[in-house]
């Protein structure tokens, strides 16, 4: 569906199976639905396939502001927190899932609160960086989350977001295939417009929300979700690699990385 006010694509069926998002992100989500994405998480010696992206984002912020306190929203088992701590950051997390947040606290030893960014207790102006690594598309109140992130950031603090790009080559192919076959072929749409997302961003929509929430963009880049974190068949893997390569050439990558700075005198 398309929001009549902001034209954001959203999933009207996001909570149709469960009465709240808490039920969606259960142990089944991590162990079955997204097994490939989280296989590394319980093994401290195994490197997250997203680590190069984490490092790239942190490097941009560190070059501008140095290191400090970081809050990772939707931190899951704490993979990013571990990497940031190793780089010298003071780390904290927020995670909706009781299952993964408990692991991050009890097994990994991180300061992680169970809940959403808008429900937990956090001090205003307490962080130098807030991160949403593949998380913002799962929340049901995007604008409220961004405004809350602004409020817990110090003056000049930064925000990092990665999310799927619905102005990408993959989304174009999925939509074209679905419409071109009169809805007979649904596989590409089902793989890209996944039911575990509450909304689907196009870069202009996200940029407008950031601006409205008191942020100034300082860095943006098209990226692709690590193939090793996706469940793929033998033939699907080379096809996706090819589509990633073409999408990169066309600047229509499957995801987008945006780093923004808390604007001065936002009053958030």
Does residue 16 surpass a pLDDT of 80? no
CA atoms in the 13 A half-sphere facing the CB of 162: 20
Q: What would the mean pLDDT of 215-227 be, rounded to a whole number?
A: 97
Q: Residue 192 is inside which H or E element, if any?
A: helix 187-192
CA 260, CA 160: separation in Å to the nearest integer?
A: 7
Give the pLDDT of residue 107: 92
Report how far apart, in Å, the C-alpha atoms of 24 and of each of 29, 32, 130, 246, 263 are: 7, 12, 24, 33, 34
Are the CB atoms for 68 and 128 separated by under 8 Å?
Answer: yes
Are the CB atoms for 112 and 95 separated by under 8 Å?
Answer: yes
Q: How far apart are the first and last CA of the chain?
A: 30
pLDDT tens profile 124-171: 999 999 999 999 998 888 999 999 999 999 999 999 999 999 899 999
What's the CATH fold of domain 19-165+197-230+254-262? Rossmann fold (3.40.50)
Token pair 């799927």 is at which residue?
Answer: 164
Does residue 206 surpass a pLDDT of 90? yes
Q: Are strands 215-223 and 69-73 parallel, antiparallel or unpaired?
A: unpaired
Instruction: Confirm whether pTM is higher than 0.85.
Output: yes
Q: What would the mean pLDDT of 39-54 be, rounded to a whole number?
A: 84
**Which residues make beta-bridge pairs with 162?**
133, 257
């Amino acid at each position: 569906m398309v929001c009549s006010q902001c034209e954001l694509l959203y999933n009207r069926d996001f909570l149709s199976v469960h009465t709240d998002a808490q039920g969606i992100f259960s142990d089944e989500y991590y162990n079955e639905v997204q097994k490939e994405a989280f296989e590394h998480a319980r093994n401290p010696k195994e490197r997250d396939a997203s680590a190069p992206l984490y490092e790239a984002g942190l490097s941009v912020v560190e070059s501008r502001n140095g290191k400090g306190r970081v809050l990772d929203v939707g931190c899951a088992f704490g993979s990013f927190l571990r990497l940031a701590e190793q780089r010298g950051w003071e780390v904290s997390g927020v995670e909706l899932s009781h299952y993964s947040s408990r692991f991050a606290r009890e097994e990994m030893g991180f300061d992680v609160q169970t809940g959403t960014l808008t429900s937990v207790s956090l001090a205003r102006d307490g962080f130098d960086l807030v991160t949403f690594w593949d998380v913002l598309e799962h929340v049901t109140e995007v604008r409220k989350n961004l405004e809350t992130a602004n409020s817990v950031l110090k003056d000049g603090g930064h925000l990092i977001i990665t999310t799927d790009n619905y102005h990408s080559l993959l989304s174009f192919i999925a939509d074209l295939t679905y419409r071109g076959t009169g809805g007979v072929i649904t596989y590409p749409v089902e793989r890209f417009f996944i039911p575990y997302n509450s909304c689907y961003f196009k870069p202009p929509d996200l940029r407008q929300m950031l601006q409205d929430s008191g942020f100034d963009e300082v860095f943006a880049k098209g990226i692709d979700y690590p193939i090793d974190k996706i469940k793929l068949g033998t033939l699907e893997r080379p096809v996706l690699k090819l589509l990633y390569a073409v999408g990169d050439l066309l600047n229509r990558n499957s995801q987008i990385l945006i780093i923004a700075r808390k604007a001065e005198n936002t009053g958030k």
